[in-house]
């Protein structure tokens, strides 16, 4: 059945929607990926482009994707089918939903492995990282990557956790989980910033992230920053569309999306500051890559009073942040199986989770046994990361901008985005011109067609 289902579950309030959507947006992207990408992409240059992308592409698209979900009232594929029909267009627009639901599963396969690292570090942190040094921290992380069974065990646990919540349903599972985990996360990030101010090198961190050295902006920086702005706002992967489909008609999309974008950006910047303050105070390398937080934070926790309590607490909250995001990566496909193939929610969640779990095993092995397996010069982990964040997300984002900006009837858009006068015109213009042109320009750059 592709017809919209009017009896779908709905979030219990406007705040619930903000919370779950922020829960989707705020995740490993903010606390793990943003700091290491900033580190490997020249610091402030990356931050500057990232912020520009959030404002000019990310936020307008976040609103557009939420709108498509709510208007379409269905899983991403059905929702796109419904809005396309309403606009008098063909079924091929469902491709947006398809790219989304499959991309989300690909992301989840490596996301879960990384979340597994964090689970391991939650456990390690309970011993306080006594006597850890720069060298032993790096060796400790390398040791984890070299151990396939450990990686797979943690990945399995994390997938079970994710499936468990999604199997419980929209309000009973997803909303409940977010209501507990999100406020705790905010508190601990603020605490860590406080620590950075008092004992670490906050001025150096601020300089590194905000002196805005325009000359350091390279093609790679621009492409990475755009990809990351999609990743961090959960765009183009059906997650936002699925969550939007559970949103009440009366809630303001503009206001809620605005809060989500602000919260997401704030957490990324704060996490970045806290981590770089420690990096510079301890003479660590900002460009050390995906292991950055796992090589820096243990050193801080080993030295701070009460570190063996704060440490595990912090990593646990990163697990929570990852969890609320992974739920949103699984839900779109699960909703599709339920609505289109009449699966029970339980069966849909376990079946999808099982498939993603298998792919995740390949990801885990790509760090050790299968490290030689390469496609286009990339290992399995890097390949899935690049394919999703650098290609599928921008492509889907482009199609969403074109659809919402050019294809939908204006009165339907106005009906959803109740933003009078100038605000509406600004949003629509950005969506119609700025976002697509920026995405296409960046694509062309990368393909080397221009510049």
Residue 82 binds ligand PHE (CB under 6 A): no
Residue 11 and residue 248 in contact, taking contact as beta carbons nearer than 8 Å: yes
Binding mask 277-316 for ligand PHE (x = CB under 6 A): ----------------------------------------
Q: Rule CB under 6 A: say whether 117 interacts with ligand PHE.
A: no
Taking the least distance from each CB to ligand PHE, the nearer of 392 and 419 is 392
Question: What is the residue whose two structure tokens read 């009078």?
Answer: 420
Which residue has the closest beta carbon to ligand PHE?
Answer: 29
Give least dist CB 382 to ligand PHE, A.
17
Span interacting with ligand PHE, options 26-34, 42-50, 54-62, 301-309, rule CB under 6 A: 26-34
The residue within the footprint of ligand PHE, chosen from 66, 112, 325, 430 (CB under 6 A), is: 325
CA gap 89, 104 in Å, rounded: 25
Token pair 């290491």 in the structure block, residue: 36
Using CB under 6 A as the binding rule, whether residue 30 contacts ligand PHE is answered as yes
Contact between 109 and ligand PHE per CB under 6 A: no
Helix, strand, coil proportions of the chain in percent (round to 5)? 80, 0, 20
Smallest gap, in angstroms, from Cβ of residue 240 to ligand PHE? 7
d(CA 268, CA 256): 19
Q: Give the range of 23-31, 73-81, 160-168, 345-353 binding ligand PHE by CB under 6 A.
A: 23-31
Distance CA 444, CA 405 (A): 21
Q: Which is nearer to ligand PHE, 30 or 430 (CB)?
A: 30
29 binds ligand PHE (CB under 6 A): yes
> What residue has token string 């095993």?
361
Distance from C-alpha of 86 to C-alpha of 300, rounded to nearest angstrom? 55
Q: Is 76 in the site for ligand PHE (CB under 6 A)?
A: no
In the list 17, 19, 22, 27, the residue contacting ligand PHE (rule: CB under 6 A) is 27
Task: Determine if 118 is a binding residue for ligand PHE (CB under 6 A).
Answer: no
Q: Using CA of residue 319, residue 390, residue 237, residue 382, what is the dihedral sign?
A: negative
Distance CA(27)–CA(341), nearest Å, equals 30
Helix, coil or strand: residue 372: coil
Beta carbon of residue 247, minimum distance to ligand PHE (angstroms, whole number): 16
Q: Residue 18 has which token pair?
A: 């903000």
- State the Cα–Cα distance between residues 250 and 84, nearest whole angstrom: 22
For ligand PHE, the binding residue among 106, 151, 159, 239 (CB under 6 A) is 239
Looking at the Cβ atoms of 256 and 328, the one nearer to ligand PHE is 328
The full length of the chain comes to 451
Q: Is 24 in the site for ligand PHE (CB under 6 A)?
A: yes
Could you say whether residue 166 binds ligand PHE (CB under 6 A)?
no
Taking CB under 6 A as the binding criterion, the range among 56-64, 86-94, 324-332, 432-440 that sits at the site for ligand PHE is: 324-332
Q: Are 236 and 230 in contact (CB under 8 A)?
A: yes
HSE-up of 75 (CA within 13 Å, CB side)? 24
Contact between 178 and ligand PHE per CB under 6 A: no
Kindly tell me which of 34 and 93 has the beta carbon lying closer to ligand PHE. Answer: 34
User: At its nearest, how many Å lie between ligand PHE and the CB of residue 29?
Assistant: 2
35 in contact with ligand PHE (CB under 6 A): no
Is 41 in contact with 209 (CB distance < 8 Å)?
Answer: no
Distance CA 76, CA 65 (A): 10
What contacts 187, CB < 8 A, 6 or more positions away? none
Nearer to ligand PHE, 19 or 132 (CB): 19
Identity of the residue, 181 or 281, whose beta carbon is nearer to ligand PHE in the bound complex: 181
Rounded Cα gap, residues 211 and 276, in angstroms = 14
Binding status of residue 28 toward ligand PHE by CB under 6 A: yes
Q: Give yes or no for a contact between 21 and 263, defined as CB atoms under 8 angstroms apart.
A: no
DSSP for 143-154 reads HHHT-HHHHHHH
Residues 199-238 that bind ligand PHE (CB under 6 A): 231-232, 234, 237
Residue 329 in contact with ligand PHE, rule: CB under 6 A: yes
Query: Nearer to ligand PHE by C-beta: 413 or 439?
Result: 439
Q: Are 185 and 320 in contact (CB under 8 A)?
A: yes
Return the number of the residue (221 or 241) whose C-beta is nearest ligand PHE: 241
Whole-number minimum distance, CB 139 to ligand PHE, in Å? Answer: 27
Nearest approach in angstroms of CB 267 to ligand PHE is 9
366 contributes a contact to ligand PHE by CB under 6 A: no
Burial class of residue 359, CB neighbours in 10 A (0-12, 13-18, 19+): middle
Separation CA 274–CA 170 (nearest Å): 34
Provide the binding-site residues for ligand PHE, judged by CB under 6 A. Answer: 24-25, 27-30, 104, 107, 231-232, 234, 237, 239, 325, 328-329
């Amino acid at each position: 059945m592709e017809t919209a289902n009017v009896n779908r579950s709905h979030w219990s309030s406007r705040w619930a929607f903000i919370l779950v959507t922020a829960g989707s947006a705020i995740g490993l992207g903010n606390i793990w990926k943003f700091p290491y990408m900033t580190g490997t992409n020249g610091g402030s240059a990356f931050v500057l482009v990232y912020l520009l992308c959030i404002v000019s592409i990310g936020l307008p698209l976040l609103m557009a994707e939420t709108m498509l979900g709510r208007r379409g009232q269905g899983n991403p594929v059905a929702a796109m089918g419904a809005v396309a029909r309403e606009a008098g267009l063909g079924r091929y627009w469902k491709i947006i939903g398809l790219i989304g639901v499959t991309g989300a599963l690909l992301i989840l396969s490596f996301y879960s492995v990384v979340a597994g690292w964090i689970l391991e570090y939650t456990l390690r942190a309970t011993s306080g990282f006594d006597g850890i040094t720069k060298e032993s921290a790096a060796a400790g992380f390398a040791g984890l990557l070299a151990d396939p069974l450990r990686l797979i065990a943690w990945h399995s646990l994390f997938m079970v956790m994710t499936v468990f919540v999604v199997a419980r349903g929209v309000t009973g599972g997803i909303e409940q989980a977010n209501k507990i985990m999100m406020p705790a996360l905010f508190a601990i990030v603020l605490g860590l910033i406080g620590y950075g101010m008092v004992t670490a090198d906050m001025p150096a961190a601020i300089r590194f992230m905000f002196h805005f050295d325009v000359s350091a902006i390279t093609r790679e920086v621009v492409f990475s920053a755009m990809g990351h702005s999609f990743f961090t706002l959960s765009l183009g992967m059906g997650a936002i569309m699925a969550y939007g489909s559970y949103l009440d008609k009366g809630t303001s999309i503009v206001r809620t999306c605005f809060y989500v974008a602000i919260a997401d950006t704030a957490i990324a910047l704060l996490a970045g500051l806290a981590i770089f303050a420690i990096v510079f105070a301890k003479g660590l390398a900002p460009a050390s890559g995906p292991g950055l937080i796992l090589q820096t934070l243990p050193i801080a926790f080993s030295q701070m009073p009460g570190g063996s309590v704060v440490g595990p607490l912090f990593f646990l909250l990163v697990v929570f942040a990852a969890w609320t995001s992974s739920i949103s990566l699984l839900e779109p496909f699960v909703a599709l199986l339920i609505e289109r193939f009449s699966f029970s929610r339980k069966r849909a969640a376990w079946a999808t989770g099982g498939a993603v779990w298998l792919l995740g095993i390949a990801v885990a092995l790509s760090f050790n046994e299968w490290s030689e397996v390469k496609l286009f010069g990339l290992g399995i982990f890097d390949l899935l990361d690049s394919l999703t964040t650098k290609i599928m997300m921008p492509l889907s984002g482009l199609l969403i901008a074109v659809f919402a900006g050019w294809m939908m009837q204006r009165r339907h858009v106005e009906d959803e985005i109740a933003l009078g006068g100038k605000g509406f015109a600004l949003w629509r213009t950005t969506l119609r011109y700025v976002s697509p042109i920026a995405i296409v320009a960046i694509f062309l750059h990368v393909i080397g067609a221009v510049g």
